[in-house]
Amino acid sequence: MQKLAREMAERAAATPDQVAVVDGTGVHTLGSVVREATALAGILEERPGGAPTVLVQADNTWRTLAAAVAVGLRGGTIAVVSAHATRSEFAMALEDLRPDAVLAGPVAIATWDAQDGFEHVGDVLDGWPVLVATGGPSLGPARWRGGCVVAMTSGSTGRPKCVVQSEDALRYAGRATIEAVGLTAGDPVGALVPLSSVAAFCFGMHLPAMLGSPMVCLEKWQPDEAVRLMREEQVAWTMLVPTMALQLSLVDGSEGALASLKALTVGGGPMNAGALERAESHLGTRFLRVFGMSEALGHTTPLPAEDADVRLGRDGRPFPGTEVRVVDDAGSVLSQGSVGHLQVRGPSMFVGYARDGVAQQPGVTEDGFLPTGDRARVNEDGTLSILGREKQVIIRGGRNIDINEVEAAVAAIPGVAQVCVVPVPDPLLGERAAALVVMGAGDLDIDDVRRHLAEADFPKFKWPEFVHVVRDLPQNRVGKLNRGEATTLAERLTGSVVQ
């Protein structure tokens, strides 16, 4: 984050009144943001000193940008976490990151019980406490192997993963997007998705700051408020998951409301080309269907000038300098048009996963390609078509839910003998989670499940939204669970359930 911090300090000195952030508290200039960042950097210089790793509550306000600049001024690493993280998720973040300091609002500090192991050394950013670790010397900046930002992702393996990205990767992904969309300095960029994810941090905050453009923030997702904000602030580009993009077109009075957008990028979940085309026509803009992941930031995109069948029916072309390929089970590269396992290599690749305070190197092939866990096809025109996940996940509104993790949580409820969790289709969210449950004793309904999962501190976004008690789970000839038949059964039963 050092390059961004230096650039913003230079611009603030030259044009202090330039707008840097528009959020729920008002308009914030470059001069005011950099002043706050400098004050925080001064506290971090005293304690803990050096180039610290700072765990920051990332909200969609000027504070997140100021915190990033402050950490950059110290040459450190910022780790972002949602204000809505549970106490157990915060504890996992501490375990993986071993931060030198924590910066968050008073409510989050109390919810997480963050004072344990930390000392309060001051307040910054309009009343946010700075807590410094008391458990021993810092592990130092080298542990992140050049990483400048770490963010927790839901991933597809149960335990949240802390993805470490470098500043070079952020700048590469940002520049490639700027060039593809045709953005210029001063074009307002919407930060509508929570900045606690790597992708939102990169494209919603770092990109406009690097471009020299206002970051237009929405603190909490509300489709009608998003339409109003983008229309009033003349937002030129933003990135959303498909669910959010489709919801915009359902807002009363939204017809033609987003004509200021040069494009609206959509990615991170199942997409229906017909629904996207109807929505973009209604809103008066153009959607760009892309593919990316926290581990390889947004590395494919179409162009706004391309036809709808390319922009909305496929998943874009690789950024310049990025390579994608499809391989078979043996790892041999397949020809264009063949379906196989997707792999990627390029400048937006991540540094690794944070584990016990260091960045563990990612698992890549001998020639440096990262397996994405997706089934895909590279088309003859060079575009990519994503055909589904290899692992058992549900993608609900752009968030990955590991089926095995949900099944384990439901299976722990007293009386449950067997459970199978499957996706059921949803026109807005893409997929929802439905649980088929065989009871060994007693009965169970959706309210019972919600109560038990809340008591277990199980993340709410992973809760099944439908629960069906069945006599037996579908089986194949050798007695194994038949997930295909289970999905069909859940889809049929779901139509009669009241959430």
Q: Report the distance separating Cα 286 and Cα 391, nearest Å.
A: 32
Task: Count other Cβ atoms within 10 Å, centred on residue 301.
Answer: 25
Q: Would you call 274 exposed, middle or buried from its count of C-beta atoms within 10 A (0-12, 13-18, 19+)?
A: exposed
Looking at residue 274, its pLDDT comes to 80
Looking at residue 154, its pLDDT comes to 59
**Residue 400 β-bridge partners:** 395
Tokens representing 154 are 């839901």
**CA dihedral sign of residues 41, 42, 43, 49:** positive
One-letter identity of residue 462? K
Per-residue exposure over 13-34, b if at least 16 CB sit within 10 Å of its own CB, e if not = eeeeeebbbbbeeeebbbbbbb
pLDDT in tens, the chain (499 residues): 999 999 999 999 999 999 999 999 999 999 999 999 999 999 999 999 999 999 999 999 999 999 999 999 999 999 999 988 889 889 999 999 999 999 999 999 999 999 889 999 999 999 999 999 998 788 999 999 999 999 987 544 457 789 999 999 999 999 999 999 999 999 999 999 999 999 999 999 999 999 999 999 999 999 999 999 999 999 999 999 887 888 898 899 999 999 999 999 998 766 778 878 989 999 999 999 999 999 999 899 999 999 999 999 999 999 999 999 999 999 999 999 999 999 999 999 999 999 999 999 899 999 999 999 888 999 999 999 998 777 778 888 888 888 878 988 998 899 887 889 999 998 888 899 999 998 877 889 999 999 999 999 999 999 999 999 998 888 764 456 788 899 999 999 988 443 3
pLDDT in tens, 291-325: 999 999 989 999 999 999 999 999 999 999 999 99
Contact 88, 76 (CB under 8 A): no
At which residue do the structure tokens 């993805």 appear? Answer: 163
Q: Report the distance separating Cα 283 and Cα 248, nearest Å.
A: 8
Pick the closest to residue 130 from 30, 9, 42 (CA basis): 42
How far is CA 280 from its chain centroid?
23
Q: Would you call 484 exposed, middle or buried from its count of C-beta atoms within 10 A (0-12, 13-18, 19+)?
A: exposed
Looking at residue 157, its pLDDT comes to 46
Assigned superfamily of 393-496: ANL, C-terminal domain (3.30.300.30)
Q: Report the distance separating Cα 386 and Cα 398, nearest Å.
A: 14
SS3 readout for the chain: CHHHHHHHHHHHHHCCCCEEEEECCEEEEHHHHHHHHHHHHHHHHHCCCCCCEEEEECCCCHHHHHHHHHHHHCCCEEEEECCCCCHHHHHHHHHHHCCCEEECCHHHHHHHCCCCCEEEEEEECCCEEEEEECCCCCCCHHHHCCEEEEEEECCCCCCCEEEEEEHHHHHHHHHHHHHHHCCCCCCCEEECCCCCCHHHHHHHHHHHHHHCCCEEECCCCCHHHHHHHHHHCCCCEEEECHHHHHHHCCCCCCCCCCCCCCEEEECCCCCCHHHHHHHHHHHCCCEEECEEECCEEEEEECCCCCCHHHHCCCCCEECCCCEEEEECCCCCECCCCCEEEEEEECCCECCEEEECCEEECCCCCCCCCEEEEEEEEECCCCCEEEEEECCCEEEECCEEEEHHHHHHHHHCCCCEEEEEEEEEEECCCEEEEEEEEEECCCCCCHHHHHHHHHHCCCCHHHCCCEEEECCCCCECCCCCECHHHHHHHHHHHHCCCCC
Pick the closest to residue 289 from 323, 264, 318 (CA basis): 264
For the chain, what are the domain ranges? 1-378, 393-496
**Domain 1-378, what fold?**
Rossmann fold (3.40.50)
**Residue 53 β-bridge partners:** 77
